[in-house]
A and B are shown apart, each in its own frame.
Chain A
């Protein structure tokens, strides 16, 4: 227990000025089991009453050693590892890795596969942001938006499941495209795994429902004075901090940085569609919430345009059965719903990579918690952490 030296006149709240009484700081251990830390995150906080003077995040409770494991998995097997990094947006994690391997091998996935990848990535983005939109108000105390958002999210999950077979861990990307019509041989029936019948109607319906959810959440949450008062000017992250700490995704765009990898990287055919990048300028928690709500609407636009125009063709380029990637190294970054997700693949010509470095968005996003949290009250800490939308699997890999 350290003595907190705060003698003198101190401003303790917006309208109040008072003389601080010298007291001892209390060490409060928040987590690792805690309802609002998005997983097993441990925050060792030194608090004076309710004001945090020092915050030390302790991570690694969920470290699964994916980078080491990737050195003993073939390229096709690694997708099963990596879609568990950010488990809320399973499909989006695989895309970057698979595209990296394609670049090293010089393979171009067919347009139909690219469109399917894009549609599923955007569906995952909407699903992720709906989870955020329900858990963030829950942390602030409103229990009802959760039910509304999850109800509409089920439609999206159903669509993803009908295409890939999995809700959270689709394992649908293959090097060269997506999972093609498979089966064959004497004992297995040929099972067509192209887009299922009714996919377009189901996707269109899911988008309509997602828009309903957005409207409902706007009424219930965005306009609510209590949410605004809890989230505005709380956890402000400046533009300089965003750059220095590598904060990406909606968190960066809420601080005025108009940078979206979907526009700046040429990985999936986003340029075929008419959509905008959602940007806000205050950098507080409320703006991070608003950016994600805007992003849901933009993604709905993209999906609606995409499902009207899916080109026909094969689902996977010609790829040798035993994948050997020529020597080389490549870094591919994609716009994961949580931020920039990248894979640095070093291949030495074998069937397994020599080194895979996984750049996960949440790791960088929360690395500045100790700076943002100083001087905040504990409820503000909860509001800030919730607005960063991180997941421990993404932090710990």
Chain B
């Protein structure tokens, strides 16, 4: 992930220009524009203001989605992050905003500590954040302060735990271990395995 382009021999792409401008407007700590996707990283206390600025001053009025990523050192399922030792454990909350007049779009990103997982709600700025925040809350356990109705959306009411956290075990994997290095599973053997006969 790169910071603002330091290579001044190349003219910055329109994407980079747009990202740099918006980052300045919201007062973001840093921004990236890799793979055609703009990420703007703000602090938790800048969250609502950044979204409001993006909506009002950068024509990013279309609320696409809001979700989170759980950055953990220990993972119950799947593969761990790269550079696990240097990893800062946190929940990264992402919010994608777009424009309907051009193809401009950004992902606002902020991080909250795991033992202090709360964030201001975006519902006053974008009404559609309602369901997305409910889902992020139940899946990751992040509290959205000021949300009108933070009840479970997908999960049944008695469900315990937060499924999309890396510490939440996947039921299927507790029964059957991770297949490991096999990329393509072999076809099942046609001989009678139970009787103990080999191929």
Question: Given the known A-B contacts A60-B153, A244-B126, are A331 and B173 also in contact in the complex, defined by CB atoms under 8 Å?
Answer: no
Is B127's CB under 8 angstroms from A359's CB? no
CA distance A327 to B71 in the complex (A): 14
Name the A residues within 8 Å of B183 (CB-CB): 74, 321-322, 351
Question: Given the known A-B contacts A60-B155, A243-B100, A351-B79, are A72 and B178 also in contact in the complex, defined by CB atoms under 8 Å?
Answer: yes
Interface presence of B131 (CB below 8 A): yes
Name the B residues within 8 Å of A368 (CB-CB): 127-128
Name the A residues within 8 Å of B78 (CB-CB): 71-72, 350, 352, 354
CA distance A244 to B64 in the complex (A): 9
CA distance A331 to B91 in the complex (A): 18
Name the A residues within 8 Å of B139 (CB-CB): 67
| Interface residues of A, count at CB 8 A | 50
CA distance A72 to B174 in the complex (A): 13
Question: Given the known A-B contacts A63-B155, A355-B69, are A330 and B82 also in contact in the complex, defined by CB atoms under 8 Å?
Answer: no
Is A344's CB under 8 angstroms from B81's CB? no
CB distance from A366 to the nearest CB of B (A): 9
The total number of A-B Cβ pairs within 8 Å is: 123
Which residue of the partner chain B has the closest CB to A367? B131
Q: For chain B, what secondary structure do more than half of its interface residues adopt (helix, strand, loop), or is it mixed?
A: loop
Name the A residues within 8 Å of B173 (CB-CB): 72
| Interface residues of B, count at CB 8 A | 46
Contact indicator per residue, chain A 317-346, by CB within 8 Å of chain B (1) or not (0):
000011000011111010000001010101
Question: Given the known A-B contacts A68-B164, A330-B36, are A342 and B64 also in contact in the complex, defined by CB atoms under 8 Å?
Answer: yes
Interface presence of A136 (CB below 8 A): no
Q: Which of A51-65 contact B (CB under 8 A)?
A: 59-60, 63, 65
Name the B residues within 8 Å of A74 (CB-CB): 183
CA distance A104 to B36 in the complex (A): 10
CB distance from A9 to the nearest CB of B (A): 31
9 nearest A-B residue pairs (beta carbon) = A60-B154, A245-B128, A350-B79, A71-B78, A264-B103, A330-B35, A259-B100, A244-B127, A63-B154
16 further A-B pairs in the complex, CB-CB below 8 A; given A72-B78, A243-B100, A245-B63? A60-B156, A68-B163, A71-B78, A245-B127, A321-B183, A328-B1, A328-B35, A331-B37, A331-B107, A350-B78, A352-B78, A354-B78, A355-B70, A359-B64, A364-B131, A396-B154
